[in-house]
Amino acid sequence: MPAEVLACSCTNESDETHRAGGDLIFVGTAVRVQGEAATFVVEKTLKGQSDEEEVVSTPEVNNSCHTTFAEGATYVVSARLRSGELYTDYCSGNRLVRSAEVNRALVAPGGSARPVSTSPGGQDRGVKYTVVAGVGLCLITALGIGAWLLAKRRAA
């Protein structure tokens, strides 16, 4: 018999709106992920008071509100305080800042990490510029092909 799966229902508000509802919002790197709990080393506190490390719980894996964190990756985490414990879920507006692979690449040969901006939007800007550049290149290519076809038609 299949396990029961519970549906997660988020409102249509932005991640920023969902995130703002957290009692504690921080940028942190997941250093230990076990079952429904993740331990983060906090890099920057955006709202509330945090310790150097924070343990955040999420719903069970068979619940669609479960949030998966990858060890070594850095996130903006929005957590609510429930019965003295920090809790987050899929609808809390958590966001990946840097993957574990990027974090490993940022470690200098001596084992010390190079400083990196943890501003929540730093990675998005690079993606946006890449998309804009790609669209621009497509338009220039289309114009070039159009001009070539027009010149070919006039020559014939």
Stated pTM of the model: 0.60
Q: What is the pLDDT of the chain when averaged over all its residues? A: 76
pLDDT at position 120 over 50: no
Tell the CATH topology of 15-118.
OB fold (Dihydrolipoamide Acetyltransferase, E2P) (2.40.50)
d(CA 84, CA 27): 20
> What pLDDT was estimated at residue 43?
92
pLDDT digits (tens, 9 = 90+) for 85-95: 998 888 888 88
How confident is the model over 3-30, as a mean pLDDT? 73
Please answer whether residues 37 and 55 qualify as being in contact, where contact means their C-beta atoms are separated by less than 8 angstroms.
yes
Give me the mean pLDDT over the 100-125 stretch.
57
Once rounded to an integer, what is the mean pLDDT over residues 16-30? 82
Per-residue confidence at 27, pLDDT binned at 50, 70, 90? very high
For the chain, which residues make up each domain, given as ranges? 15-118, 121-156
Which of 107, 99, 58, 60 has its CA nearest to residue 78? Answer: 58
For 39-64, how does the pLDDT look when each residue is reduced to its tens digit (9 = 90+)? 999 999 999 998 999 999 887 766 66
Is 87:58 a contact under the CB 8 Å cutoff? Answer: yes
